[in-house]
Structure 1
Amino acid sequence: MTEQKQSTTNEVARTQADGPLVTDQGRTSIADTVVAKIAGIATREVSGVYDLGGGTARAVGAVRDRIPGSRTKMSQGVAVEVGERQTAIDIDLVTEYGVSIADLAAGVRSNVTSSVERMTGLEVSEVNISVHDVHLPGDDQDAEPQGSRVE
């Protein structure tokens, strides 16, 4: 083999072994919060996802949303473990009523995996999904005030 061809072969083998985040020019590390934010946004993009997080996280989020100037925390309901080449993602969500939970989970897994792998270069080893609640139509409407029973 020629020297240039051997060098290219070694570089390809190294990139496949170490992943795209480790090169001869240096190493790229990605924070857990970056992966969690990407996964949260990708989850919200899937039709049928009403909200992210368990009951407590959603309650805190509702309070935060009422504060002027605050923004929705995109990583709410998402926990990740990030290694050098792989990441594992846990997602807590609320689904819309009438949506097939199995189909929703498959769609979320697919969208999260493709988004995280495309944006970070990390391999997604698993996406675990916990459905905490089902959002019913009319849940968001404030109860109609009832008239006083006494005068």
Structure 2
Amino acid sequence: MSDLSLLNVGNDSSLGKVEIAPEVLEVIAGIATTEVSGVSSMRGNFATGVAERLGKKTHGKGIKVELVEDAVIIDVFIVVDYGSTIPTVAKKIQSNIRQAIINMTAISIKEINVHVVGMHLEPKIDTENSSS
């Protein structure tokens, strides 16, 4: 994410303030998304692909967090499993992300947009030609 601003959480108190980087929300949203059945994988950019090949796990892959005038907008880019009901999977993702972020950060989200960018087809198992 190019915006380096931090999100203020709650009111300032005598103890100080709490700020959360948008990358933290990306990780939370990424983990919440992968917990939904029907999600085959998530799509990242070229940099996340290279980082994964080098052994670095990127939990924020396929998530874009945008801060617009005190509002948080999250875009999720997924590949669904063939046979899954896309609207149901998308609603579960939105619900999971919203609940996880509220529970962990107390930040309210304006929008969670789910973009289905592909479908994962399981390879067919040919039982007729296989011999045991």
- Shorter-chain TM-score: which interval? 0.7 to 0.9
Q: Is the 8 A contact 2:9 2:17 kept in 1?
A: no
Instruction: Please point out which of 7, 14, 17 is paired with 1:27.
Output: 17
After TM superposition, the score normalised by the length of structure 1 is 0.67
8 Å contact kept, 1:31–1:82: no
Q: How much has 1:53 moved relative to structure 2?
A: 1.1
**Max radius of gyration: which structure?**
1
Q: Hey, which of these two has a bigger chunk of strand by percent? A: 2
**Superposition deviation, residue 64 in structure 1:** 4.1
Q: CA deviation at 1:66?
A: 3.9
Partner of 1:99: 84
Alignment match, 1:52: 42
Secondary structure in 2 matching 1:28: strand
Distance 1:59 1:98 in 2: 30
Cα drift, residue 124 of structure 1: 1.1
**How is 1:77-116 mapped onto 2 (pairs within 5 angstroms)?**
77-82=62-67, 86-116=71-101
TM-score (norm 2): 0.76
Give the Å deviation of 1:58: 7.4
Partner Cα distance (1:132, 1:98) in 2: 15
Deviations 1:40-61 (A, max 9, x none): 000001011111116xx37952
Is the contact made by 1:50 and 1:93 (CA closer than 8 Å) also made in structure 2?
yes
Post-superposition Cα deviations, 1:88-126, rounded to whole Å, max 9, x if no partner, equal 110000000000000000000000000011111100111
Following superposition, the deviation at residue 85 of structure 1 comes to 5.8
Label 1:44 to 1:50 Cα distance change in 2 as closer, same or farther (>3 A): same
Decide whether aligned partners of structure 1 residues 116 and 83 sit closer, same or farther in structure 2, where only a CA change above 3 A counts.
Answer: farther
RMSD: 2.5
Which is richer in helix? 1
Structure 1 residues 97-106 or 45-54, which shifts more?
Answer: 45-54
Unaligned runs of 5+ in 2: 1-7, 125-132
* Contact 2:72 2:108 (8 Å CA) reproduced: yes
Equivalent-residue separation in structure 2 for 1:37 and 1:116 (angstroms): 10
Which one-letter code corresponds to 2:35 in the other structure? E
Aligned length: 116
* Structure 2 residue 27 is the aligned partner of structure 1 residue 42: no
